[in-house]
Chains A and B, each alone.
Chain A
């Protein structure tokens, strides 16, 4: 797999006079699962939208392999970067398989003109997110979690070296949460640059290669799980009381209450 790196170069965002992001400077290396965490309103989704180039920053820029992302043609950018937005939209009742084929659009693949490679990518993505059995179903008839996995399959079908996923496991049951986290880990091990926004700190601690903690539009901590997820910092940023334990699987977070 081709590899690519991303760099949010001193990115700031103001929306209606409100500072959403303040001078965020973050480099994202390939072959790594980067997890963004932070309380509601910390600016995680805005940062993801800026990285995906669907929102322009007020200041700063995004570099892809050292070059400004905005300078690249849209089609080329779309082949290098797949993005799953937080709000899972499917406006019309379309068949799941045809919806996932939209992920092949950057490569010129459509339902009408799909190469065997396009179909293979679609089937593989359906398989990996566990929705092959739903391929003939209509997207609007699915449950929230099923729909979320179908839309993740759409992002995977692009087979881009960069995968940006905003809350990929929010609506999923525990089995599928774990399955999708393993999938993102496999992607990273295969060379992909994965950035995921997560609210589940335990899964973040277990799977992330690197955790970036945002609060109030700023990066307050980054590094591996033990360095970032300390009881003191979780109390400061999330206002939760957490007991942090280390076992042979890695870090274990046990929430014991709230910090008043």
Chain B
């Protein structure tokens, strides 16, 4: 199995203040997100608009910026903790929903019901279809690689699933009678929080919160798995139950997130990596910080896409990929020993 190397030789329980830094930066970013947009609003106007009224400022704050900020917060959080949970389960720092093809599959599920006319854009069928497709992708992944999968097998199988789902998505969109097909393809492939409403929040956040709660409750299981499946079983852990809860929760959270925001990649890889720098490698202790780091990253990326002057707004998934892919490559290089049969 992969040995993470983020720890220092003197691995002591890290100080609590490091986590406080995460909270502070997250709050600052949330304010930044609420104060950033195409229409310049002063701080006073923004606060007034948020608290009530029916003028332009109120409409902008409550119908544009608030849903967008909330979605970035929750979608980032679930992607971050999903990565941490999958890494704990697989005992592998390269595990991530995107690497396994889950968001791509979820996007296909959502696009399929949306463009076949089975459901409208604000129907609960949309997240349910996305969750179902994400579950199916995990089932196929597990069927391909089996239980004790090597890193290479997981990445290759995930690549196959993600590529297939991406191709199927673009075909479905291209065949639909929608005149905006090209922009829609970009949305489902790269993700965005543009033009989302509180209805989108209501559609996805309940699923996301349940998934977060389930994953947060499995910390002792991931920690026991550090010793391997046999030791964990002998300590009283039901490993197959843990595997089920994890995969179903990740599918539920990622599926619901993708249904409203499109497929946003690599946050599940970056967030746990940041969390480990702050609190050490313990797979239980990184769960909550990974959630926070995911939220922080996503809100930050969503502020950035609004600040960069461009003809059409940048896609938030492009920003997270720009941050995530180099990290993924660096991790691959560090663990490349695995690919030639040597140690990590």
Contacts and interface: CB of A to CB of B under 8 A. Distances in A.
Interface of A: 49, 52-54, 74-75, 77-79, 81-85, 87, 89-95, 98-99, 102-103, 105-106, 110-111, 136-138, 140-141, 151, 154, 158
B2 interface: yes
Interface stretch (B21-29, B70-78, B155-163, B224-232): B224-232
Contact of B234 (A52, A92, A98, A136): A52
B13 interface: yes
Contacts of A136: 10-12
Nearest to B2: A91
A135 B7 CA distance: 15
A158 B13 CA distance: 22
B222 to A, nearest CB: 9
Contacts of A103: 235
B154 to A, nearest CB: 15
B144 interface: no
B3 A140 contact: yes
Interface in B1-52: 1-13
Nearest to B282: A94
Contact of A105 (B5, B11, B220): B220
Ranked 10 nearest A-B pairs via Cβ: A93-B7, A78-B236, A89-B228, A91-B91, A138-B11, A83-B234, A92-B281, A95-B11, A85-B230, A75-B236
A166 B230 CA distance: 12
Contacts of A111: 13, 282
9 contacts: A82-B234, A83-B231, A91-B91, A95-B11, A95-B12, A102-B227, A105-B236, A136-B11, A140-B3
Contacts of A74: 233, 236-238
Nearest to A87: B228
A94 B281 contact: yes
B306 interface: no
B243 interface: no
Nearest to A112: B284
B230 A54 contact: yes
A79 B235 CA distance: 8
Given A94-B11, A94-B226, A95-B12, A85 B231 contact: yes
Interface residues of B, number: 35
Contacts of B2: 91
A89 to B, nearest CB: 4
A117 to B, nearest CB: 17
B235 A137 contact: no
Nearest to A77: B236
Interface string B103-123: 000000000000000000000
Given A90-B226, A98-B282, A154-B227, A140 B5 contact: yes
A119 to B, nearest CB: 13
A12 B7 CA distance: 43
B317 interface: no
Contacts of B236: 74-75, 77-79, 105-106
A218 to B, nearest CB: 24
A89 B227 contact: yes
Nearest to B7: A93
A140 B91 CA distance: 14
Given A89-B228, A137-B9, 10 more contacts: A85-B228, A89-B1, A90-B226, A91-B225, A92-B7, A92-B91, A93-B7, A95-B13, A102-B224, A105-B236
Given A82-B234, A98-B282, A92 B11 contact: no
Contacts of A98: 13, 282
B11 A91 contact: no
A93 B2 CA distance: 11
Nearest to A91: B91
Contacts of A78: 234-236
Contact of A91 (B4, B235, B280): B4
